[in-house]
Structure 1
Amino acid sequence: MTAELVRGQNHPLPGTRMEIRVSAGRPVVAGATLGDDRGRVHGVEWVAHPGSPTLPGLEVSKQAAADHRLAVDLGALHDTVHRVSVLLALPVGVEGPATFRALAAPFIAVTGLDGTEIASYTITDLDAESAVVALELYRRQGAWKVRAVGQGYAGGLADMLTDQGLPEARELAAAINEAVARGLARSVAAPPPRPAEGTRVRTASQGQEGHPAPPPESHPDAAPGRPARQPGDDAPLAPADRPSGGPVDYAHPRRQTTAPPPPAPTAPPARPGEPAQPVAGDATGWSMEERLYNQVWGMFEDLARTTAAYRSAVDFADSRMEQELDKVLSDPRSRIGGAGDAARESARAKHADLVARARAALDRDLAQLAAEAEVVEPALPPAYASWSSPAWHAYRAPMEIPMALRLGDLHLPERVDLRIPMLVRLPLERGLWIDSGKALTNSFTDAAELRRLAMDTAVAHAARLLAAYPAGEFQVHVIDAAGAAASSLAPLVEAGVLAGPPATGAAGVADVLGGLTQRVDLVQMAVRGGAADALPPDLDIAEQLLIVNDFPHGFDDRAVTQLRYLADEGPAVGVHLMMVADREDAAAYGPLLDPLWRALLRLTPVPDDHLADPWVGHTWTYDPPVIPANSQILRQLLDRIAVARRNGGR
């Protein structure tokens, strides 16, 4: 049960790994300090802030935002740390409120990795303060507790850090404010909640740059590219109207427990006052692949944050103009005549000036992101690259699977040509649904052509998955009950990369579903019984993908039940589902199939605004991967995969 704290109240913490979520309604800076047994902060290396967002056991965002997620692992803190203080401050030198008096009461919550709220605190009675210690996590007799603090400082960050005993308080406060105002530091997404302690999660770790995604997860894992998700997770990207159910996790799976040092810069240093020149792979990571993954999700969140700041500034300008106009209209003496006209003109001029300044800041940030995208895109490995990338021409079967796969691009209306790769981590933790539904025909009137495009998209995704795995370690099965997708499936069939011919008719549907269901049952029993060596010798232990076209055509009630079972239980034991379907075609089943749709990540064969970013509430446009016209890259790739299989991966 959630504890709703009041100032000074404390509450025990049930575990050591958690998230701290902040909602302020307007962009604020979030940070944290580490204190000793007396609460003193010994140096700048004990402070996590936008310019240095990660410490052992702690990670904060790298930019001002209306909502934050801070990652905390109390078990990873040094033994000398007895207190973690969470700080909020209003950014200085940018348009917006100067004190918390102008804001709604900030809300802060401590949650478990599964999203369960442990304790919450609404910080009330703030007035002239511009910085506040929101709450603190403290150690008592070996156990950790959370205390609601709400201590505000009219002198801002400098006074707050000074009060905690930091010798370089004013210098550090100035550096934080400068980094936020100039936007020089990359934003880093907080990690998404995870379902269990044993699953792979992004851990807060030491380093100058880190990243979860959607979003990096991205994130953004996305993004942006910063945010892998599974049903029920709260994620950087989730369906805006939730037609496909639960959110989708794009978070960084983080393959290590401590982050490596940042790579040495390879670009010449920027002149004072100018942004640094973009470099491909300038994020942290043990390999170039991981650094590029982090960078893509960094770009995703940077785009989310800068767009949020612009929209917030426009909203503020609109609100202030409305207030000033209402004030003019409320006074009968100023409704007419020269004074009223002058007041109205002044309000509109202020509004135009605020919007123009906000747009100029946005355009500057977008230009920097576009320059970074131009550098990063050509450097992406095949798993992350677009179909037009030269990386595919040098493709060779990998020795191990990459950490993520590109399923398309994301963009916002403020600059539609700035596309951020949409990366999801591997192995897939949930199935895919390529929507061929009538809802998309508003922008695409030919329903038959839309279904063909949906199947073409599924084949392209399947080819990417085949290319991402070592030769022979990924098998693809197809159910095409009516045989309607023969032309789309031709590249897979002709290359000989399918596990068997596409299944048609009710008998074919039953045969494929029965075989995959039996595989899931056998592997589950072996895993639970600790007898993996007892699996039948003829069992294919490769990852399996089932593509289903035109569901529910050819499916009886038993087949539908088996399909639901595969969607729910399959991913954990290496059986994945890709549906090409119109949800309305299955409307006769009613709510029975709702869990099935919720278990799948909805994608579309045409651009569509169906992904939402819960960090700042953006609706992103998803662009499916497009193979260039007249390109033979798909068939060439499948031929190379087939050759690698015949040669045992060589």
Structure 2
Amino acid sequence: MTAELVRGQNHPLPETRLEIRVSAGHPVLAGATLGDEQGRVAGAEWIAHPGAPSLPGVDVPGRSAADHRLAVDLDAVPGAVHRVSVLLALTGGAARFGALAAPFVAVTGPDGTEIASYTITGLDRESALVALELYRRQGAWKVRAMGQGYEGGLAALLGDQGLERPADLAATILATVTPEAQDAVPSRVPEPERVRHTAPPTAPDPAPATPPPTPAAGMGAGGPIDYSHPRRQPAPTPAPEPRQAPPVPVAGDASGWSMDERLYNQVWGMFEDLARTAAAYRSACDFAESRLDRELDEALTDYRARAGGANDAARAAARARHDELVGRAREVLDRDLAQLAAESEVVEPALPVAYARWDNPVWHAYRVPAEEPMAVRLGDLHLPERTDLRIPMLVRLPLERGLWVDSGRGHSEAAGLLDEVELRRLALDCAVAHAARLLAAHPAGGFTVHLVDPAGAGAAALAPLVETGAAAPPARGAAGVSAVLEQLTERVDLLQMALRGGAADALPPGLDTARQLLIVHDFPHGFDDRAVTRLRYLADEGPSVGVHLLMVAAREDAAAYGPLLDPLWRSLLRLTPVPDDHLADPWVGHAWSYEPPLLPPGSAILRQVLTQVAAARHGKQP
């Protein structure tokens, strides 16, 4: 059964030798790029286009046409290739896809059996697009419906895939094209397979095994009307094959030089798969709803169908088609979510300390690392389609921006069930857990934590940091706040001047070269206008020289400053002490639900880790 894909939806490929058929109704250039797991293309030599139509495992047509066939052998692509992107670009004088019929692409097996198809709708001013993506996942290949268009044309598309000088490269590729709109026969079809005909130029060739339709008896030369899709060729019915089992998940099944890098890339591959799978399901449901509304409106406005119950039958049929579409979309979603859940069960226990949950036994074997990892885990992310499927939220090191643990209520239902005192306590507990992870991820002496607690209200929560020696006692009162901010501001100034002047070796002797984290509690208590200005300066300029903020505050507490502090909040990564769906994802439009990294009740692992960090910092055995 052919899978009719919607944008973002994926489908497993039962074959590795494939043919991709394109029908655009207007001359287009068809090509392909070979990319890594992130979709980055190493260079122009990894682009198949009419001027260089053959790459290992990929053959594309040598000219522009309205219809194309691309040959793909996924077993023959290099091992470093994880994505094959099929691209289309307009030629022949057309300026945008939105003025033309929607392009249609189909993936078929070597025997012509159609595996998946995709009609690329919703295009407007785009003149180039990525139609499909064949990608490797856990040793198996899948196809994903992309439909990603670019108003900037082929140059913008190539630039988005990481190629240098994309405008020059696009001009070179387009210059190799000889538009032949009057011949819609795919240029790479071998000569014996072509069928000479006298049909109009845009009509595709009939399949060799299908005879032309003959007029029905008594109907004259016109014959019956053929309502079949003009761009699809009927394929022979294949013999039923045993259904392939999904690939068995393996931890570290991603590219990378080390196991940490492979696991990091695998986690982000899971995040990407969940994002696109959920987006495809929502898109399919939205399409089904819009089609149902349209069909119901048409049934209501057709006065001729009101008699005899035809109107009721039309509405019932519309709802049945809606339910069928939603049901098929749900089946695909459940299949993909089940595979991701199986992968998560394998990957989670294999994660190293920096990526692991606090309840992972790997923490009991913690030792201070000799070098920092790629990232740290600052919580989990999930979507409402399956709340028990949680993807680790990994944040790259060094931090590119500061952190803000929001102690306000926000819009979270969980926060609304807690009183203000409990919510603030949880926020500071989370901040301490984040700080402990950052300390544990760095080599001995590579990370220093400063504490600001003007009123002393956070003494109990900050005790693990202070009592183990992982951090100095917090600064108190307005004078203490001012002294810490002045010290860190001077540090940022010195480091920036040294870096800009190329005189890093001229720094004052004794300057702590470790990265710095300032935890600010109870803001804005104890902060005057000068202190607030310095805080904003540290938030803006500090990360570039290794000085970071971790704010524990409620935005409404600083409302007296008005919009003055808006840039401060926007510059920080907002986290919460309770589950909240506040992490917006502009890529696919999801609002991810964030869950903080909670310590198991009664666990002493936090103090054990901090004790080792402090001992290593002072050159002692824990």
Match of 1:406 among 374, 377, 380: 377
User: Is residue 298 from structure 1 mapped to residue 269 from structure 2 by the alignment?
Assistant: yes
**What's the counterpart of residue 358 of structure 1?**
329
**What's the counterpart of residue 508 of structure 2?**
536
**Cα distance, 1:104 vs structure 2:** 3.7
In the alignment, the residues of structure 2 paired with residue 569 and residue 355 of structure 1 have an alpha-carbon distance, to the nearest angstrom, of 49
Assess if the C-alpha contact under 8 Å between 2:580 and 2:594 holds in 1. yes
**Cα distance, 1:282 vs structure 2:** 0.3
Match of 2:570 among 586, 589, 598: 598
Alpha-carbon deviations, 1:469-496, whole Å to 9, x = none? Answer: 0111110001111111111101111111
In the alignment, the residues of structure 1 paired with residue 296 and residue 168 of structure 2 have an alpha-carbon distance, to the nearest angstrom, of 56
**Cα distance, 1:89 vs structure 2:** 5.9
User: Is residue 490 from structure 1 mapped to residue 463 from structure 2 by the alignment?
Assistant: yes
Assess if the C-alpha contact under 8 Å between 1:526 and 1:534 holds in 2. yes
**What's the counterpart of residue 547 of structure 1?**
519
User: Is residue 34 from structure 1 mapped to residue 47 from structure 2 by the alignment?
Assistant: yes
In the alignment, the residues of structure 2 paired with residue 516 and residue 103 of structure 1 have an alpha-carbon distance, to the nearest angstrom, of 51
SS of the aligned residue for 1:439 comes to coil
Q: Indicate how the Cα distance of structure 1 residues 480 and 146 shifts in structure 2: closer, same or farther if over 3 A, else same.
A: farther
In the alignment, the residues of structure 1 paired with residue 157 and residue 516 of structure 2 have an alpha-carbon distance, to the nearest angstrom, of 47
- The aligned runs of 1:320-331 (5 Å cut-off) are 320-331=291-302
Assess if the C-alpha contact under 8 Å between 2:150 and 2:157 holds in 1. no
Any unmatched runs of 5+ in structure 2?
1-25, 29-37, 61-69, 88-101, 109-113, 130-148, 195-241
Match of 1:503 among 469, 475, 487: 475
In the alignment, the residues of structure 1 paired with residue 504 and residue 152 of structure 2 have an alpha-carbon distance, to the nearest angstrom, of 50
Q: Indicate how the Cα distance of structure 1 residues 108 and 59 shifts in structure 2: closer, same or farther if over 3 A, else same.
A: farther
User: Is residue 371 from structure 1 mapped to residue 342 from structure 2 by the alignment?
Assistant: yes
In the alignment, the residues of structure 1 paired with residue 397 and residue 74 of structure 2 have an alpha-carbon distance, to the nearest angstrom, of 31
User: Is residue 385 from structure 1 mapped to residue 356 from structure 2 by the alignment?
Assistant: yes
- The aligned runs of 1:20-31 (5 Å cut-off) are none
Runs (4 or more) in structure 1 with deviation over 6 Å come to 46-59, 93-97, 132-140, 164-167
Match of 1:622 among 581, 594, 599: 594
Q: Indicate how the Cα distance of structure 1 residues 470 and 345 shifts in structure 2: closer, same or farther if over 3 A, else same.
A: same
In the alignment, the residues of structure 2 paired with residue 390 and residue 95 of structure 1 have an alpha-carbon distance, to the nearest angstrom, of 44
**What's the counterpart of residue 464 of structure 1?**
437
User: TM-score, structure 1 length as denominator?
Assistant: 0.66
Counterpart amino acid of 1:361? V
Counterpart amino acid of 1:495? T
User: Is residue 641 from structure 1 mapped to residue 613 from structure 2 by the alignment?
Assistant: yes
In the alignment, the residues of structure 1 paired with residue 402 and residue 380 of structure 2 have an alpha-carbon distance, to the nearest angstrom, of 18
Any unmatched runs of 5+ in structure 1?
1-6, 10-18, 22-31, 69-86, 111-118, 124-131, 171-270
Q: Indicate how the Cα distance of structure 1 residues 166 and 319 shifts in structure 2: closer, same or farther if over 3 A, else same.
A: farther
Assess if the C-alpha contact under 8 Å between 1:408 and 1:422 holds in 2. yes
**Cα distance, 1:120 vs structure 2:** 5.4
Assess if the C-alpha contact under 8 Å between 2:449 and 2:517 holds in 1. yes
**Cα distance, 1:545 vs structure 2:** 0.4
Q: Indicate how the Cα distance of structure 1 residues 548 and 51 shifts in structure 2: closer, same or farther if over 3 A, else same.
A: farther
In the alignment, the residues of structure 1 paired with residue 376 and residue 253 of structure 2 have an alpha-carbon distance, to the nearest angstrom, of 20
Alpha-carbon deviations, 1:433-486, whole Å to 9, x = none? Answer: 111113257532411111111100000000000000011111000111111111
**What's the counterpart of residue 107 of structure 1?**
126
Match of 2:535 among 560, 563, 581: 563
**What's the counterpart of residue 337 of structure 1?**
308
- The aligned runs of 1:277-292 (5 Å cut-off) are 277-292=248-263
In the alignment, the residues of structure 1 paired with residue 489 and residue 384 of structure 2 have an alpha-carbon distance, to the nearest angstrom, of 43
User: TM-score, structure 2 length as denominator?
Assistant: 0.68
**What's the counterpart of residue 518 of structure 1?**
490
Which region of structure 1 is more displaced relative to structure 2, 315-324 or 561-570? 315-324
**Cα distance, 1:368 vs structure 2:** 0.6
SS of the aligned residue for 1:578 comes to strand
- The aligned runs of 1:107-146 (5 Å cut-off) are 107=126, 121=151, 143-146=168-171
Q: What RMSD in Å do the two structures reach over aligned CA positions?
A: 4.2
Assess if the C-alpha contact under 8 Å between 1:387 and 1:628 holds in 2. yes
In the alignment, the residues of structure 1 paired with residue 79 and residue 104 of structure 2 have an alpha-carbon distance, to the nearest angstrom, of 23
Q: Indicate how the Cα distance of structure 1 residues 58 and 554 shifts in structure 2: closer, same or farther if over 3 A, else same.
A: farther
**Cα distance, 1:105 vs structure 2:** 2.8
**Cα distance, 1:34 vs structure 2:** 2.0
User: Is residue 349 from structure 1 mapped to residue 379 from structure 2 by the alignment?
Assistant: no
Which region of structure 1 is more displaced relative to structure 2, 51-60 or 500-509? 51-60
Assess if the C-alpha contact under 8 Å between 2:155 and 2:169 holds in 1. no
Match of 2:556 among 574, 584, 594: 584
**Cα distance, 1:44 vs structure 2:** 2.5
Counterpart amino acid of 2:437? R
* Matched residues, number: 478
In the alignment, the residues of structure 1 paired with residue 283 and residue 341 of structure 2 have an alpha-carbon distance, to the nearest angstrom, of 22
Which region of structure 1 is more displaced relative to structure 2, 610-619 or 470-479? 610-619
Assess if the C-alpha contact under 8 Å between 2:412 and 2:581 holds in 1. no
Assess if the C-alpha contact under 8 Å between 1:40 and 1:164 holds in 2. no
In the alignment, the residues of structure 1 paired with residue 155 and residue 298 of structure 2 have an alpha-carbon distance, to the nearest angstrom, of 36
- The aligned runs of 1:17-166 (5 Å cut-off) are 34-35=47-48, 38-45=51-58, 90=105, 99-100=119-120, 102-105=121-124, 107=126, 121=151, 143-146=168-171, 163=187
**Cα distance, 1:647 vs structure 2:** 2.7
- Quote the sequence identity (%): 60
SS of the aligned residue for 2:403 comes to strand
Assess if the C-alpha contact under 8 Å between 2:538 and 2:547 holds in 1. yes
Counterpart amino acid of 1:549? H
In the alignment, the residues of structure 2 paired with residue 632 and residue 139 of structure 1 have an alpha-carbon distance, to the nearest angstrom, of 51
In the alignment, the residues of structure 1 paired with residue 157 and residue 407 of structure 2 have an alpha-carbon distance, to the nearest angstrom, of 48
**Cα distance, 1:96 vs structure 2:** 10
Which region of structure 1 is more displaced relative to structure 2, 561-570 or 331-340? 331-340
**Cα distance, 1:274 vs structure 2:** 1.6
In the alignment, the residues of structure 2 paired with residue 583 and residue 109 of structure 1 have an alpha-carbon distance, to the nearest angstrom, of 44
Assess if the C-alpha contact under 8 Å between 2:296 and 2:318 holds in 1. yes
Counterpart amino acid of 2:463? A
**Cα distance, 1:614 vs structure 2:** 2.0
